[in-house]
Amino acid sequence: MSSGRKTFGALISHDVVCLVECAAEKTGIRVVGQWTDSGPSASINDALERLRGLLAANDVRNATLALAVEQFGVFHHVMMLPGAADDVLRPVVRREVQRVFGVSDPVIMFTRGPQHEARGPSRADARTAPRQLFVAGAPRETIDALSHGFAERHITVETATVVPKAIHSLFHACGGGSEPTAVLVCLDGGPHLSYFLDGRLELAIDPPIALEGDRSSIPVMLDQIERGSVYFRQQFRGATATRLLLAARHGEYDALAAAIQSRMGIPVSPLFSGNASPEAVVAVGAVLEARSPAPLDLYPHPPTLSDRLSVVARGPNLAVSCSVAAAAIAGIWALSQFAALGSARRESDGLRASVSSGITAVAPMREVAQRRADFSRQVAFVKQSDDERSSLTTALEAIAQEAPLGVRFDSLRVSRTVDGWSAAINGRTSGASAGQSVRSLDNFSNSVRARQGVSALSLDFGYPASDADSTHVAGAGVELTFRITFQLARDAAAAAGGGR
Amino acid sequence: MPMTMASVRTFSTRYRVQAECIAVAVLAFVVFVVLGIGARRKLVPVRADLATASIIDREITGFRAAFKPSPTADNPNVSLPDSLAISVPRDDRVSLAGDLASRAELVGLSGVRVSFAAPDSATAPEHPALFSATVAVADYGVSVDCSGSFAQVLSFVNQLPPSVALQRITAVRDKFGSHFHVMLAVFEAPTTAQHG
């Protein structure tokens, strides 16, 4: 039973609509209340409307409902077929039903009963052993009418079964047993007779055809029991029901039970204890059928998620599902790329606007900063120029002062180079002897070479071309002419100049 | 089972709806993939631009945060003194020549002659790089010929204005004394004067 929701069972038939509220107990199920709307229904829709009326009259909401449907084209059948999958059995059952009942396109449902292995142990195989199938069917219009159900009252229909299967569930719920048993349920539409052997429902006999409102009398029911017993005995190797379970109206139960006992000689006991009417008993059976592991259910339940998935993930639908899933993933990926692109563009546009406004805002600051930088660079350039000149003049002055006695310069040329300065000094040196003159020149060139930053120093010397040279000093000893060239690094000159 | 055209045709005939769904899904897959790849390719330069703009934005933010205004120093009317002018407008070159002659005579040099000449063949001096103006070495030079002592000419060199750079010094001594030839490069501001 569903926790928190009330449980109802109902019988819908041409002659009566019965609603039962059930409550679960440790020992089984208990009828809390029953409501009956007697009278013929013109159609299944009419009967369902009457049931809805009963539900509304009792303000039933948010409940579960199990239906047992009689008449309106609903039929049932019991078959014995080898064990096989539903896909294999379904067309076999459909053809058999069409053959037996002559219905062109019914809705058919079936459920499996117990196995009945008749082969010897060597040939026995549980997979293919004959198995009882309970089959129920109805015209598609009837099922469609059921599907227009009770959603507005939040009522969940658990099952819509047939009367014999409801009796079957009731039989087992009430103890059942393996004893050959006949079950007679006297509904308004006529008596339903079922035979059980070893606990199996072997035979279910519908009520005899009768006129509307013509209720079966006790002799008619006795005749039906007799015919049913004969058929049961013939079909099942002489089996004879040793008891009869009866569900009849309170007023006719005793007379009917006594007549059966006297005519058939078998004990009669109630199918369901209490004051429940036969219709209510069948409704309770429908509730029990809904609780069974494999109910015989004609109700068109919407497919569950697993049903949908199993349909989608099978056969060609699997390829469709995979391709659609791949397309969906590609679509999501493409959308994410476009979303990222749009986001990046928006962010970029926003940032550009921010940068643009920022540039505009900092333009005066930038101008000030550039002016500051220009000031700094100008000052640095002036200082650099001063340092360069100072270092050069200091170096030249120092070289001039380091010239020893007897050395004099005739010319000096200094020109800018990439790394510093290129210098060339032409002059004369005189001494008492040639050795002294050369020594003085050597000392001078060494002192120049030793200066920091001086490189590539070259010294050439010789003798004056003639005494007629205007710079020759007569009587001063030996005189040499010389030429010194060297490179003066700018940085080194600056360092040397700063140090001296 | 190998897939052949015949098997595909059989499948599409037997499962027409499913085959159409698969075809539409494959078409959608291809379209989505193509569009997605296109968007992804467009995304690369956009992200690069975004990174660049982000860097610039950070620099601007950092600059604004670090900038400290100084009402006195940042006044546009405030400029460096003329002694720190690092360039001379072409129109002022005669004034420059006069200034150089005055400085030479001031240090005691005699026979000073200042003249404009072609730029010296020696290496051009490095010129300053400024934001607000372009300073370049002028296409003319200034030569200063004078007589005097070596110390005087060195003093003259030390007192040259920042707008000129020493290119060459030639000193020759004869029986009449020492003669000097100083070749100078001029920094010129083609557009505006660079008085600070």
Contact A416 B168 (CB under 8 A): yes
Mutate to test the interface with B, among A314, A317, A346, A365 (most CBs of B within 10 A): A365
Which residues, 6+ apart, have CB-to-CB distance to A61 below 8 Å?
A153, A154, A155
Q: Which tokens in the block code for residue B49?
A: 């631009």
pLDDT tens string B99-142:
999 999 999 999 999 999 888 888 888 877 877 778 888 999 99
CB pairs under 8 A between A and B: 189
pTM (whole model) above 0.95: no
Rounded Cα distance between A222 and B55, Å, is: 103
Contact A370 B131 (CB under 8 A): yes
Interval A349-372 mean pLDDT: 87
pLDDT tens string A372-392:
888 888 888 888 888 888 888
Contact B64 A365 (CB under 8 A): yes
Does residue A467 have a pLDDT over 70? no
CB-based contact A256:A248 (threshold 8 Å): yes
Contact A351 B174 (CB under 8 A): no
Among the partner-chain residues B28, B80, B165, the one whose CB lies closest to the CB of A385 is: B165
CB contacts of B173 in chain A (<8 Å) are 408-411
Q: Name the residue in chain A with its Cα closest to that of B11.
A: A316
CB of B128 within 8 Å of a chain A CB? The answer is: yes
CB-based contact B169:B192 (threshold 8 Å): no
Q: Name the residue in chain B with its Cα closest to that of A339.
A: B39
Beta pairing class for A181-187 and A420-431: unpaired
Mutate to test the interface with A, among B14, B17, B33, B79 (most CBs of A within 10 A): B33
CB contacts of A353 in chain B (<8 Å) are none
- Angle ∠(B50,B52,B58) on CA atoms, nearest 5: 100
CB contacts of A366 in chain B (<8 Å) are 63
pLDDT tens string A171-215:
988 877 888 999 999 888 888 999 998 888 888 998 887 766 677
Contact A334 B43 (CB under 8 A): no
d(CA B22, nearest CA chain A) in Å? 5
Most confident stretch, A80-94, A135-149, A325-339: A325-339
Among the partner-chain residues A348, A362, A470, the one whose CB lies closest to the CB of B50 is: A348
Residue type, A50: R
Among the partner-chain residues A327, A408, A470, the one whose CB lies closest to the CB of B25 is: A327
Q: Which tokens in the block code for residue B60?
A: 């601007």
Residue B114 pLDDT: 93
- Note the ipTM here: 0.73
Rounded Cα distance between A116 and A476, Å, is: 154
